[in-house]
Structure 1
Amino acid sequence: MEIKISLDEYADVAFIKKLLSQIKGINTIEISEDEKTYSWNELEDSEHFGKVMEQSENDYKSGKIQELTDDLLNEIFNKK
């Protein structure tokens, strides 16, 4: 089974990866752009990913975002 998600250029890819990696049953995560597919290794090694991670960390430190807790994730996905 496959799920396709479209993201805008400002999407928080690092957060999405973290969120998806916590869901049971996800085997692989790939990102494609203009018919090219990138592996997570390619993304994590890219300059852009480093910049996104740095911005995400700065946002977290400045209080612009909050890290999700297991309780909140369970509430979002209706787990008990």
Structure 2
Amino acid sequence: MEIKISLDEYADVPFIKKLLSQIKGVKNVEITEDDKTYSWEEIENSDEFKQLIEQSRNQIKNGEYEEFSDELIDSIFK
């Protein structure tokens, strides 16, 4: 079974991918753009991903984040 999700250009793709990969039953998460498929390894090793992770760490360090409750996560994925 597959699920297709369309994202806008500003979507936090690494976060979404990591979130989806932690859900029980999810075997694989792939990102496609303009008919190109990127593997998780390609994404993790990209400079863009490293910049996003650094930006995310800085935002967390500066208190610029939102915490989501288990109830919200459950309501989205159940």
TM-score range, shorter chain: 0.7 to 0.9
Number of matched pairs: 74
Confirm or deny: 8 A CA contact 1:31 1:37 kept in the other structure: yes
Runs of 4+ in 1 over 2 A off after TM superposition: none
Give the aligned residue type for 1:56: S
**How large is the RMSD of aligned CA atoms in angstroms?**
1.6
Gaps in structure 1 of 5+ consecutive residues? none
Match of 1:21 in 2: 21
TM-score after normalising by structure 2: 0.81
TM-score after normalising by structure 1: 0.79
Cα deviation for residue 66 of structure 1 reads 3.8
Match of 2:42 in 1: 42
Gaps in structure 2 of 5+ consecutive residues? none
Higher relative contact order (CA 8 A, sep 6+): 1
